[in-house]
Structure 1
Amino acid sequence: MARNSDGELEEQSTEGYQEAAFEAFMCPLTKQVMQDPVTIETGQTFEREAILKWFRECRDNGRRPTCPLTQSELRTTDINPSIALRNVIDEWRARNDEKDLEKACNALRLHPEDDEDDTLRAMAYISQICQRSGAKKNLVRGQGIISTLADLLKSSSRRVRLKSLQVLRTVVEDNDQNKEELGKGDTVRTIIKFLSNEHIQERELAVSLLYELSEYEPVCERIGAVYGAILLLVGMGSSKSENMMAVEKAEKTLKNLEKYDTNIKQMAENGRLQPLLTKLLQGGPEVQVTMVEYLGELALANDVKVVVAEQVGTLLVSIIKTGGLPAREATLKAMREMSSNELSAKILLQAGILPPLVKDLFSVGASSHFPMRLKEVSATILANLVASGASFRSIPLDDAGRQTLLSEDVVHSLLHLISNTGPAVECKLLNVLVGLTSSPDTAQDVVSAIKSSGATISLIQFLEAAHREIRVESLKLLRNVSPYMGAELADALGGHLSSLLRVISDAGGGGVTEEQAAARAWGCLGDADGLRPVVDILVENRTEALRRRAVWVVERILRVEDIAQEVAADQTVASALVEAYRNGDPRTRHTAERALRHLDRIPNFSSAFHAQARRP
């Protein structure tokens, strides 16, 4: 085996394995062993195509046909197949092939690494014999040489590895039994590893071999089961640097792998989402459920969420409306992921997701057949949709277009559901109301419904909920509605002040900035006079935990300079802080000191602060 100037492999002669043919097997015209021997009028035998060509040349030259050997003119150009001779030649060729194949196989089995040229020559012969007919490929399998060729894929010689990939492709092409034989053991895994090889020709030959194997379904399934196979094929299929033939083979291999649902899932996980979407759109109900389940498990980039919503949003809404419970559950989980992006959420709204979503949320009783776990998912989707900033005043919930998400009876239903469901759903529905009240355009509608339903007390009572998330969402809602119902909130807060202080204090952690916490506190407590109840808690010397929270709230609020200016005029605040500084636990003292220093920056306050601090 030789190498050309580019380092690529060239075919090498296999004459060393050929036995001499009998003279009778040779065509006098071609000097080659005949494939289809025929006899003419003189009894001479020739290769069919060769003698027919001779007759044409005679006619073209304007002379009568003659025998090429005797030169005698022929009365007829009729030819008769020499069946007996052809059978003898075929038998000779079969014996010769089998003998030469055995020699080639022995050369590969006996120390193939010792003489690289002999190994390459043997593989070249195997390749040539397999190209003659499918029967020869069966003969190769019968010799047990396929596993030997597979072992050579692990050779330390690149030339041997390359030739092995070439020969194996020839051996398995259009022969399912040979594909089955090669697919045994870890050979498929070995071939797949070549896809990540630095050598371009190894990658190209490996993907060509994988394509041939993927044409046989049992081996195709094994290819997809190899960890990393689909990732490598997807990368090669989308590569701009690979040879076009390699890219095409990778694409064709992936197309074959799409026959199996688990492969489609892996493709989607590795960025090739279209097969999943296509099967979702074209498949039957069971296939759709499987594809939607896969879709719900994917972590999609925002731009991909938009593509998915555009292609299958309408179908998903249809499944929500008419599908069975398993299909609806899988679809809701997929929509939970898709709705978390603003653009894809708006596309889902255009596809009509809101009416069936709200209908399922409000369904009650045993007849609804809609479990609480799915209400939680639906509530999450609704919260995501509201967060998208869409105009819900223009999105109808009924065919007549009379109801929207801002309609009074719909908000009443939301408030009722919040008060009669589990913590997870409560939190998400409170988040829905927070979103609807974040805009002045829609806040008034929600506030009116809160007032007409008498739900103010219920919302404030959520400040005492056991779950921190519910308390924080309740605080956000109260902050949003306080400009429109400040008096009602002030009257209703009453004995819930300590709960409010705890929530504001809790909100200082978990990703909420101290400035945001101060803003929430100030929004709920009103103006500077709103500090009076907090100061009263300090003066009355209640529990240490309550005093600590009150000091925490005061310190955050005093960080706002305008507020600090207004509070500085009230010596009671300073006195209460000094008292907390002198008698509180170390945490309370530290916070009180920071609060006093905020006031200390105010002109004419410094002397008062130091005088207070010096008192015994």
Structure 2
Amino acid sequence: MVLEAIRDLHDICKKKQYNKIQIHNAGILPLLFKLLKDKDRDIRYAALELLRELAKDDDDSKIMISEVVDMSAVIKMMSSGHQPIRHAALLLLLELSRSEILQEKIGSVPGGILVLIRIKYNQSDDAFSSEKADEILKNLESSPENIKKMAENGLFEPLLKHLTEGSEEMQTEMAEYLGEIALGHDSETYVAERASPPLIKMVLSGNPLTRTAAFKALAKIASFHPNATILAKSGIVQRMVEEMFARRIHGEPINSKTEAAAILANIFEAGLDLENLQVNSHGHILASDYVLYSIIEMIKHSTPDELNINLIRILLCLAKSPKSMSTIVSMVKESEASYILVELLNNPHEELGIAATKLLIGLIPYMGHTIVERLCKTAGQPENLILVINETTRITHRQAVSSTFLAKLPHQSLTLNLALLGKNTVPTVLQQINQIQGTGIRTSRGACSSQNTFCLVDAKAVERLLACLGHENFEVVEAALSAVCTLLDDKVDVEKSVGMLCEVNAIQHVLNADRLLPATLVNAFHHGDTDTRQMAEKILRHLNKIPNSPTSHTSHCTM
């Protein structure tokens, strides 16, 4: 009886547009929404078809339907095991997506775009559903926010298309998104190939906002080392060198020299052959005196710490070549750069201090006595290096690098030895050695029983280690994770460890550490085998990235 009534209403709607208005006025929509949950799948199918007929060729009707019918319910039905219902749900959503007013609302349903992409990729199982999902996604592209969600869920084509073909405003917005979202390793190279040319053109723009967005996106792409060759072929090295040495736009929200140097450092650290890489139209190569001199001059005169860090990173890459190292040594020796580099050892910016120390370590075999001379003439040195090593109970990256630097300096240098003795540093060093030898590591394999209080807990280091999981340097993250894992070693009280880690919200910290986790799960959901897809789907549901499965009459077995 209900089914016949719905079909009669459907026939009435087809006859006149006015009849649709009458049905709306009669308050039928709330009833149709309730019928979407009916036990009878034929009734559910008929209700979907009637809703689609009501929505046809009338934006006002589409809006009324969207206000009464829960969009997430329609999206759940797109995954129905009953093909007619699945198709009807897709056709209804396709009709609603033709309204520009509703496109962002549809895209905002949690997991909606992810499910549509999954159906689009599933062409072999259901070509009709794949085609309709693709049409819906194309309609949703008119909203920049939807384009971002598509990229986050593994569909980059809309973002890349608008980045290449869109207006300047749209290109800027797409570049901003590209700089924000996490790219899975499977998509990094594809995005780099497609996005690099338009982004490099945007860097040449006179619009500060456009340039800023392009720099951020290029920095993200360059941070993935396998992209280095693609970026080099796209001409980015020449553009970034020009930004560093020549181009200057006042009043920008970013320091373009710093951004350009960071991008180059990321590319060079990937291990490219740098010696013969051309950097400008005048024929200069990267290892030329012109480039090396310009970089060293910038270090001498630069004030931003971030710029100096990236310039030193570039020099460290170039120093791997004997020819370039010879030029660097000559220039540092003969200029004030040696004093500047030694003075940077005192810099409070940890990353800058570490970078300068690493470069000096590389220079020691060629000019060790010169470095000693500069070091002993610098205020607070060399005793500050000993103090840095001794200042905390946990060994930091800066301490390790400082120790290496001291150990590499010429042992027979009378100047250095007298300076160390004169500052009474020897007792401090001996005390530190004794402390290291006498300390047991109770969390792993040190001198303690598994029932004792953990030394990491005693030192109140656990929360600090968890905070390190958000560090930009993956080596720091890896080291912090390794330290935390000692609390779960077979030789400790694991139950006590787990309880303590839960108290400090360790699980969330660990999940956040893997910025690629969402992208990895999405890729598995789209392209994995059956078991992998099911596992990815469960995790995505737990993370509220996909709508939960319907609890009544919409499961595959009843549809």
Q: Once the 2 structures are TM-superposed, how far is the Cα of residue 182 of structure 1 from its aligned partner?
A: 1.0
User: Once the two structures are superposed, what CA deviation does each residue of 1:40-65 show, in whole Å capped at 9, x if it has no partner?
Assistant: xxxxxxxxxxxxxxxxxxxxxxxxxx
Which residue of structure 2 aligns with residue 334 of structure 1?
Answer: 217
Normalised TM-score (structure 2) = 0.69
Distance in 2 between the 1:461 and 1:286 partners?
44
Which residue of structure 2 aligns with residue 143 of structure 1?
Answer: 26
Which residue of structure 2 aligns with residue 410 of structure 1?
Answer: 291
Distance in 1 between the 2:413 and 2:113 partners?
63
Which residue of structure 1 aligns with residue 309 of structure 2?
Answer: 427
2:282 aligned with 1:400: yes
Which residue of structure 2 aligns with residue 484 of structure 1?
Answer: 366
Q: 1:188 aligns with which of 51, 71, 78?
A: 71
Cα distance 1:521–1:330, how it changes in 2: closer, same or farther (>3 A)? Answer: same
Distance in 1 between the 2:225 and 2:77 partners?
42
User: Once the two structures are superposed, what CA deviation does each residue of 1:528-550 show, in whole Å capped at 9, x if it has no partner?
Assistant: x479956984x66826xx743x3
Which residue of structure 1 aligns with residue 383 of structure 2?
Answer: 498
Q: Kindly indicate whether the alpha-carbon contact (under 8 Å) linking 1:236 and 1:242 is maintained by their aligned counterparts in 2.
A: no
2:132 aligned with 1:249: yes
User: Once the two structures are superposed, what CA deviation does each residue of 1:104-157 show, in whole Å capped at 9, x if it has no partner?
Assistant: xxxxxxxxxxxxxx2222112222333445454444334332332123224455
Q: 1:590 aligns with which of 430, 435, 455?
A: 435
Which residue of structure 2 aligns with residue 467 of structure 1?
Answer: 349
Could you tell me which amino acid in structure 2 is paired with residue 166 of structure 1?
E
1:259-274 equivalences in 2 (<5 Å): 259-274=142-157
Q: 1:171 aligns with which of 36, 46, 54?
A: 54
1:40-439 equivalences in 2 (<5 Å): 118-132=1-15, 134-155=17-38, 157-195=40-78, 201-239=84-122, 242-362=125-245, 368-370=250-252, 373-401=255-283, 403-419=284-300, 420-439=302-321
Distance in 1 between the 2:113 and 2:311 partners?
41
User: Once the two structures are superposed, what CA deviation does each residue of 1:504-562 show, in whole Å capped at 9, x if it has no partner?
Assistant: 66898446896x7765543x3245x479956984x66826xx743x34xxxxxxxxxxx
Cα distance 1:497–1:251, how it changes in 2: closer, same or farther (>3 A)? Answer: same
Aligned residues: 434
Distance in 1 between the 2:405 and 2:347 partners?
18
Cα distance 1:323–1:305, how it changes in 2: closer, same or farther (>3 A)? Answer: farther
Distance in 2 between the 1:372 and 1:263 partners?
28
Cα distance 1:259–1:503, how it changes in 2: closer, same or farther (>3 A)? Answer: same
Could you tell me which amino acid in structure 1 is paired with residue 31 of structure 2?
T
Q: Once the 2 structures are TM-superposed, how far is the Cα of residue 457 of structure 1 from its aligned partner?
A: 1.6
Tell which structure's C-alpha radius of gyration is larger: 1
Cα distance 1:592–1:137, how it changes in 2: closer, same or farther (>3 A)? Answer: closer
Cα distance 1:181–1:305, how it changes in 2: closer, same or farther (>3 A)? Answer: same
Q: 1:525 aligns with which of 401, 409, 416?
A: 409
User: Once the two structures are superposed, what CA deviation does each residue of 1:203-251 show, in whole Å capped at 9, x if it has no partner?
Assistant: 3332221012112322333212323221221122113675221111111
Q: Once the 2 structures are TM-superposed, how far is the Cα of residue 450 of structure 1 from its aligned partner?
A: 1.8
Distance in 2 between the 1:493 and 1:404 partners?
33
Distance in 1 between the 2:85 and 2:40 partners?
12
Q: Kindly indicate whether the alpha-carbon contact (under 8 Å) linking 2:264 and 2:314 is maintained by their aligned counterparts in 1.
A: yes
Q: Kindly indicate whether the alpha-carbon contact (under 8 Å) linking 1:230 and 1:266 is maintained by their aligned counterparts in 2.
A: yes
Q: Kindly indicate whether the alpha-carbon contact (under 8 Å) linking 2:13 and 2:54 is maintained by their aligned counterparts in 1.
A: yes
Which residue of structure 1 aligns with residue 483 of structure 2?
Answer: none
Could you tell me which amino acid in structure 1 is paired with residue 65 of structure 2?
L
Distance in 2 between the 1:167 and 1:180 partners?
15
Which region of structure 1 is more displaced relative to structure 2, 347-356 or 503-512?
Answer: 503-512
Distance in 2 between the 1:506 and 1:412 partners?
37
User: Once the two structures are superposed, what CA deviation does each residue of 1:55-99 show, in whole Å capped at 9, x if it has no partner?
Assistant: xxxxxxxxxxxxxxxxxxxxxxxxxxxxxxxxxxxxxxxxxxxxx
Q: Kindly indicate whether the alpha-carbon contact (under 8 Å) linking 2:29 and 2:68 is maintained by their aligned counterparts in 1.
A: no
Q: Once the 2 structures are TM-superposed, how far is the Cα of residue 476 of structure 1 from its aligned partner?
A: 0.8
Unaligned runs of 5+ in 1: 1-117, 552-579, 581-586, 595-616
Cα distance 1:484–1:540, how it changes in 2: closer, same or farther (>3 A)? Answer: closer
Could you tell me which amino acid in structure 2 is paired with residue 590 of structure 1?
Q
Could you tell me which amino acid in structure 1 is paired with residue 173 of structure 2?
T
Distance in 1 between the 2:339 and 2:422 partners?
26
2:335 aligned with 1:453: yes
- RMSD after superposition: 3.2
Distance in 1 between the 2:122 and 2:104 partners?
24
Cα distance 1:192–1:167, how it changes in 2: closer, same or farther (>3 A)? Answer: same
Q: Once the 2 structures are TM-superposed, how far is the Cα of residue 339 of structure 1 from its aligned partner?
A: 0.6
Distance in 2 between the 1:160 and 1:511 partners?
67
